[in-house]
Structure formats: structure tokens, C-alpha cells
């Protein structure tokens, strides 16, 4: 769960794209206005008037405010009125969902615009797979999903909310399915950073076995994701971390990358500070180039090592975590 960086300007531009009709595009606002015009005196028009009044707020609100909107929707009795006895959207719920039309958005240039603004290249949830937008003969295609932290099947009125659209791989999105998270129980990538909360490492005994025979014991490596020392004893964060690992099957996913873990350890051990200094001298003398500390680390690890770059390439957090102790002590 890597932190997503954005700014108010991008969020406001996103809202303008959704709320302004242009050409063949009919905005969310116009569809809600149209529903109200066609259903004057309807028993559920108060639900649509509520959305009409607070529509921009719903689109741009940050996660805490979105959860407040959900609670307000429940208190007013609206949430119960859009669901059937099985907790699925009823007729009014489906009509409300149709006003937002997430599927249309997902296939539109507006989604491509959002992808370009976020500029994320790996899954926010697991960081094991790429999340790219590519140009093909048939047009631009997003090779990733947009997950809804607050389920669009329960809260269709949040299906286009900026801070409720989380870029992720198909595996994470389908694994999570329609489960709706709570801020008190789950890490939200617009609020918290897994990198700040927890760190990847290996079980000491398994690392010793590997180092005793690096040619045979690669599969002995046991990767761990544990809460950082400064958060030890924080039960709330520990629970969020435990839920994250369970919701996205993180331990099983990362068990497939023991070879990468092994290579990262070996490269970190081989390129100690003396060899890194040799590299700096070589590039300066032979190529008149001064390598930055960040570039040296990327060269050694084969991935990004700065927290701000973790979404630029899969497995960046894991390789950064494994190597950082070596860069500090060796």
C-alpha cells in the first residue's frame, strides 16, 4: 500500500471534467438533474436532491470526509432505501448507480487523463505488478484496474470520487472483490504509507541458511513484512497491517520472489561502501560523470530506493527495505 501523491489542482480539474457536459458527454450533474426532472414528486427524490446539492463535495472530498458522507447517508435513511433485503442495490440504487456510470468513465478519456496525472506505474496495493497505460491501434488502454476503497456496489454515489479510485492490478482488485474498507481498519493510500508503517525483511534463521550455501538454499528464504520499530505496540496500526496482508494475500504473493530477495542480498553484500566508492571514482574518471547516492543505490539494487519513487517500478519497496540496512552499515 504505497502512498499516492496528488494536489488540489488535479482534484479540482477532475471534478470539472465529470461535472461539465461537453460534446456527447453527459455529466453526472446533468444526469441527476434529468432524473429529478423526470420524477417530480417521486418518493425517493430527496435522495437525488441530496446528491445534487453536494455533488462536487462528493467528487473532491478526501477519505475522512467520504466516510462522513456515508455515515450521513445512513443517518438520513438513504443507504437503507437504495439496498434490498440482501444488501444489494435495489431499483432506486441501480438508477442512482446509472447516474454516475462508473463503467463509462473507466473506458473514457477522462480515466486516461486521471492515469496520466497520477503517473503511477505499479499496483498501489501490492507493488508486485505494473499498472501502465499504453497506446494501441485501437486507442489508449489502461492495463490496470481502479479499485474503490468504499465499495461502489454499496455506495454507488462514491464511485467517481477522486480519493475513492485506487490504481491497482487485476489480482488485488479481484481478490478484494466488493469488500468495503473502513479507515479505522485499513490503510488508505491517500492517507497513510505502508513504507512508513512497515518494513520487509527476512527471518534471520532462513537468511543464515541461504548465506551458508547461496547456490542451494535460495528457497529457504522466508520474507517477512513487519511493523517498524517506532510503531511497536501501536495496536491500531498493527491491526491495519494485519488486515492489509490478509486482504491482499501479501505473504503468498511475495513468496514467489525469493530469487529477487536473494539477488538483492548478494548485490548489497558485494557492493559494500568501498566498491561503491570505486564506482563513483570510475564514472568520474572515465565518463566525467558524478553519480548521485540515489543513482548508486539504484544501480546496486536494480530498483528505486527512495520512498518517493516506490510506485515507479514493481517490487521497489521490498528491494529498498532489504538493502537499506546494508547501505547503512556496510
Residue 330 has pLDDT above 80, yes or no: no
The Cα 218–Cα 262 span in angstroms is: 6
Place of cell 447516474: 99
The label of the residue with cell 433485503 reads 85
pLDDT > 90 fraction of the chain, expressed in percent and rounded: 70
What is the C-alpha separation between 254 and 318, in angstroms, rounded? 9
Percent helix / strand / coil, the chain, rounded to 5: 60, 10, 35
Q: Is the confidence at residue 42, as pLDDT, over 70?
A: yes
- Check whether 329 has a pLDDT greater than 70: no
> Where a domain ends, among 176, 208, 231?
176
Structural domain includes residue 186: no
Instruction: Assess whether 151 and 100 both reside in one domain.
Output: yes
What confidence score (pLDDT) does residue 269 get? 82
* CB 268, CB 330: distance < 8 Å: yes
pLDDT of 257 > 80? The answer is yes
Tell me the average pLDDT across 240-269: 92
> Quick one: angle between helices 273-287 and 293-301, nearest 10?
110
Q: Are 159 and 231 within one domain?
A: no
Same domain, 155 and 220: no
Q: pLDDT by residue (tens digit) across 80-114? A: 999 999 999 999 999 999 999 999 999 888 999 99
**pLDDT value at 236 more than 80:** yes
Residue keyed to cell 456510470: 101
Looking at 143, 176, 209, the residue that finishes a domain is 176
Residues 137 and 217 in one domain: no
- Residue 93, pLDDT score: 97
pLDDT band at 62 (very low <50, low <70, confident <90, very high): very high
**181 part of a folded domain:** no
pTM over 0.85: yes
Range of the domain at 261: 194-329
Angle made by CA atoms 287, 293, 296, in degrees to the nearest 5 = 60
Average pLDDT over residues 147-161: 96
In the three-class reduction of DSSP (H, G, I as helix; E, B as strand; rest coil), residue 72 is classed as helix
Handedness of CA 244, 249, 253, 258 (dihedral sign): positive
Q: Are residues 142 and 19 in the same domain?
A: yes
Q: What is the pLDDT of residue 185?
A: 96
- The domain tally of the chain equals 2
* pLDDT value at 273 more than 90: no
Q: Is the pLDDT of residue 328 over 80?
A: no
- The predicted-structure confidence for 156-197, as pLDDT tens digits, reads as follows 999 999 999 999 998 899 888 778 899 999 999 999 999 999
End-to-end CA distance of the chain: give it in Å, rounded: 29
CB 225 within 8 A of CB 34: no
252 and 286: one domain?
Answer: yes
312 shares a domain with 215? yes
As given in the structure block, the three cell numbers for residue 289 are 560523470
Amino acid at each position: 500500500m504505497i502512498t499516492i501523491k496528488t494536489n488540489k489542482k488535479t482534484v479540482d480539474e477532475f471534478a470539472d471534467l465529470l461535472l461539465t457536459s461537453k460534446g456527447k458527454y453527459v455529466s453526472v450533474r446533468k444526469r441527476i438533474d434529468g432524473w429529478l426532472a423526470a420524477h417530480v414528486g417521486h418518493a425517493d427524490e430527496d435522495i437525488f436532491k441530496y446528491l445534487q446539492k453536494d455533488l462536487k463535495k462528493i467528487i473532491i472530498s478526501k477519505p475522512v470526509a467520504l466516510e462522513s458522507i456515508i455515515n450521513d447517508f445512513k443517518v438520513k435513511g438513504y443507504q437503507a432505501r437504495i439496498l434490498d433485503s440482501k444488501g444489494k442495490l435495489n431499483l432506486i440504487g441501480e438508477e442512482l448507480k446509472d447516474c454516475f456510470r462508473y463503467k463509462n468513465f473507466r473506458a473514457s478519456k477522462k480515466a486516461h487523463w486521471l492515469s496520466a496525472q497520477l503517473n503511477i506505474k505499479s499496483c498501489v496495493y501490492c507493488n508486485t505488478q505494473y499498472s501502465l497505460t499504453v497506446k494501441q491501434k485501437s486507442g489508449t488502454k489502461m492495463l490496470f484496474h481502479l479499485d474503490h476503497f468504499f465499495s461502489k456496489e454499496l455506495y454507488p454515489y462514491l464511485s467517481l470520487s477522486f480519493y475513492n479510485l485506487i490504481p491497482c492490478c487485476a489480482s488485488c482488485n479481484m481478490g478484494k472483490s466488493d469488500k468495503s474498507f473502513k479507515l479505522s481498519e485499513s490503510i488508505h493510500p491517500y492517507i497513510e504509507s505502508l513504507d512508513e508503517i512497515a518494513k520487509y525483511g527476512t527471518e534471520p534463521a532462513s537468511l543464515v541458511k541461504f548465506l551458508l550455501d547461496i547456490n542451494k538454499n535460495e528457497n529457504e528464504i522466508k520474507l517477512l513484512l513487519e511493523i517498524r520499530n517506532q510503531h511497536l505496540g501501536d495496536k491500531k496500526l498493527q491491526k491495519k497491517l494485519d488486515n492489509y496482508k490478509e486482504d491482499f494475500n501479501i505473504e503468498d504473493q511475495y513468496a514467489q520472489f525469493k530469487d529477487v530477495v536473494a539477488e538483492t542480498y548478494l548485490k548489497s553484500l558485494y557492493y559494500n561502501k568501498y566498491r561503491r566508492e570505486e564506482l563513483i571514482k570510475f564514472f568520474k574518471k572515465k565518463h566525467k560523470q558524478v553519480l548521485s547516492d540515489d543513482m548508486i543505490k539504484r544501480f546496486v539494487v536494480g530498483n528505486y530506493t527512495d520512498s518517493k519513487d516506490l510506485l515507479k517500478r514493481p517490487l521497489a519497496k521490498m528491494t529498498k527495505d532489504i538493502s537499506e540496512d546494508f547501505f547503512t552499515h556496510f
